Amino acid sequence: MTALAPSPALTSRPARSPHLLRWLIRLHRPALLAWIAFVLVVGGLLLWVGGPLTDASAEAWKQYNACGADGCSYDVKAIGRYKDWYNYTTIAVIAAPFLVTAWSGAALVSRELESGTAQLAWTQAVSPARWLAAKLAVPAVLIAVGSGLLAGLHHWAWSTGQGRIDTVKGWHDLGTYAANGTATAAMALAGLVSGVFWGLYKREPYSALFGSLMSTGLLWSLVAIATPHLWPSVSKVSSLTHSVPAGSGIVVDQGLVTSTGKHLSGHLCGSTTYGHCKTVYAKLDAVGYYNDYHPQSHYWPLQLTSTAIILAVTAALTVASFSLLKRRTGSAPARKAAAV
């Protein structure tokens, strides 16, 4: 029995805790480098779009607006280049959550469970719960910083064009709205956790990849559909002499107001200066337009509410992932066994 007792040197000092960070970085080095490269490239492009490209485009618009009726020359290419690269970078920023989801679903956890290397880690001095915590926490920090940085740069690149470029995207443009705010960074975290959840559930990369991409897509769509309803909208009534209802932003509902004050959704025809529309409106007893919408001042309330919802889903998926793992491996301290 003496041979079994650990030597005093082993027990006299507290056990060194495992170096999980070093191990994770070695294990996922390609993914880490790819993420850093992605953030640097897209971030660099956004600086280019917000700086030189915006300046050139603004200059071209200035030339264009100074043109007389007899025509003049202005830099069409600069306008096109700004528009193209603005769109490409917007797509890249919105794609980040899906890239994260794909990696997390296919590689982070599922592949390890399939090949048995997760079990290899669990039979070192690392408990399954600790393993999962490390696998979530380290990427979560990098993803939050990276996609937060990209969303911030996108917001900056978009804002530098405001009032200088005539065709600049409004704050409520679908892609711009998504890429400009915190919700995209939260979505990337949700993607990470959904990849992990599906990985633990399916224990196989292909179904985990499919499942996590589907659930991230679903969450994204649901939040996009719900966004106009996440904050009380503003209602504005305007005259039928305009061709469209007044008030620009994210529209919740618009239509006609009748003489009794009733709201008829839709039925928009155009200005009453057109005879046809005048007849249509007269038939409906319409006296004005109404527009329930979110003005730009609602931007942050909407962004932050959807961010909070996405983070709540992320937290729920995290809890579900840990309890799934716990049920599989029995890593919870059993009260009975502890009493032995």
Which residues lie near another protein (CB under 8 A)?
Answer: 1-4, 6, 10, 13, 15-20, 22-23, 26-27, 30, 115-117, 119-128, 327-331, 333-334, 336-338, 340
> Is the Cβ of residue 117 or residue 241 nearer to another protein in the bound state?
117
Q: Which of 46, 107 has the CB closer to another protein?
A: 107
Of 128 and 288, nearer to another protein (C-beta) is 128
Min dist. Cβ of residue 108 to another protein (A): 13
Report residue 102 as tokens.
């794909």
Q: Which is nearer to another protein, 19 or 283 (CB)?
A: 19
C-alpha 331/C-alpha 53 separation (Å) is 55
Return the bridge partners of 263, or none.
257
CB of 105 to another protein, least distance (A): 18
Residue closer to another protein, measured from CB, 34 or 120: 120
Region at 73 (left for phi over 0; alpha for psi -120 to 50; beta for the rest): beta
Q: Given the complex with another protein, which of 116 and 163 has the nearer CB atom?
A: 116
Question: Helices 76-103 & 128-161, crossing angle to 10 degrees?
Answer: 170
Q: How far is the CB of 144 from another protein (least distance, A)?
A: 25
Closer residue to another protein (CB): 20 or 277: 20
Beta carbons within 8 Å of 340's beta carbon, 6+ residues apart:
none
Annotate 99-120 with DSSP letters as a single string. HHHHHIIIIISHHHHHHTHHHH
* Side-chain-facing half-sphere of 264: CA atoms under 13 Å: 17
Name residue 255's beta-bridge partners. 265, 290
CB of 128 to another protein, least distance (A): 8
Contact in structure between 181 and 227 (CB atoms under 8 Å): no
Helix, strand, coil distribution of the chain in percent, nearest 5 = 70, 10, 25
Cα separation, 187 vs 216, whole angstroms: 8
Residue 299: which residues within 8 A CB-CB, separation 6 or more?
171, 177, 181
Non-local (6+) Cβ contacts of 215 within 8 A are 194, 198
Residue 26 Cβ vs another protein, minimum distance, rounded to whole Å: 6
- DSSP, res 17: P
Strands 250-258 and 286-294: antiparallel
Closest approach, Cβ 324 to another protein, in A, equals 12
Least distance to another protein, CB of residue 129, Å: 9
Shortest reach from residue 133's CB to another protein, in Å: 14
Of the pair 283, 335, the CB lying nearest another protein is at 335
